[in-house]
């Protein structure tokens, strides 16, 4: 019960901060330039050299970011938070996104860390979802009942995914 009260208080605090951010739109945020010392556009080989991974494989680009995904080993943390999973997404052998999933009990720690590192969110959605929108990438935090997710993705990947989605829709509409 105490965890639910803490989670509720954090949620209210996140919404209040997000509301302030919404009122102060127009300012960018200090965008991530990749993940730790692996910059956007780095190769899969560079990632494996700098961060321990357990596997890398092809993914369905209609579902995930990029065309390949690497899973980090359990030794990779986000600050002091031990994540459930850390994924890295690649397109054309270039890092285009990363995702961290963690148990909701770490929500307050994650929220403090994100606010300290990136400042106020630039967009607030209904529920436990805030976004930091930058010039070169977006960062999303989505709180869930089972796990919380942080996703950082480059604008180039977002544009590529949208173009692919439009292309699939166009092909589907023109099929006999």
Handedness of CA 116, 120, 122, 124 (dihedral sign): positive
For residues 13 and 124, the answer to whether their CB atoms sit within 8 Å is no
- Sequential DSSP letters for 86-114: EEEEEETTEEEEEEEEE-GGGHHHHHHHH
**Predicted structure pTM score:** 0.80
Q: Delimit the domains of the chain by residue range.
A: 2-174
Total residue count of the chain as it appears in this document: 176
94: pLDDT strictly greater than 50: yes
SS3 label, residue 139: strand
| Residues 6+ positions from 88 with CB-CB distance below 8 Å | 35, 38, 47, 51, 53, 69, 70, 72, 95, 97, 98
pLDDT of 23 reads 36
Average pLDDT, the chain: 84
Sheet strand arrangement including 123-124: 53-58, 68-72, 85-91, 94-102, 148-154, 137-142, 129-133, 123-124
80: pLDDT strictly greater than 70: yes
- Alpha helices in the chain, H assignment, sequence order: 2-23, 44-50, 107-118, 155-174
- Give residue 2's pLDDT band: very low, low, confident or very high (50, 70, 90): low
pLDDT of 56 reads 95
In this prediction, residues 65-89 reach a mean pLDDT of 93
Tokens 């860390």 locate to 113
Q: What is the pLDDT of residues 127-160, one digit of tens each?
A: 889 999 999 999 999 999 999 999 999 999 999 9
Q: What is the pLDDT of residues 21-68, one digit of tens each?
A: 433 444 467 888 999 989 999 999 999 999 999 999 999 988 889 999
């Amino acid at each position: 019960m105490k965890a639910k009260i803490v989670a509720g208080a954090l949620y209210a605090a996140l919404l209040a901060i997000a509301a302030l951010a919404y009122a102060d739109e127009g300012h960018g945020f200090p965008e991530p330039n990749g993940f730790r010392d692996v910059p956007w556009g780095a190769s899969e080989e560079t990632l494996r050299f700098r961060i321990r991974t357990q596997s890398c494989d092809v993914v369905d680009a209609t579902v995930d970011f990029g065309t390949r995904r690497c899973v980090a080993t359990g030794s990779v943390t986000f600050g002091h938070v031990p994540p459930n999973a850390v994924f890295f997404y690649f397109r054309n052998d270039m890092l285009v996104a990363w995702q961290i999933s963690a148990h909701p009990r770490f929500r307050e720690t994650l929220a403090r860390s994100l606010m300290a590192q990136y400042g106020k969110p630039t967009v607030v959605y209904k529920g436990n979802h805030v976004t930091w929108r930058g010039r070169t990438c977006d960062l999303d935090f989505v709180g869930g009942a089972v796990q919380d997710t942080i996703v950082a993705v480059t604008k180039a990947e977002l544009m590529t995914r949208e173009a692919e989605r439009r292309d699939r829709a166009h092909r589907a509409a023109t099929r006999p």
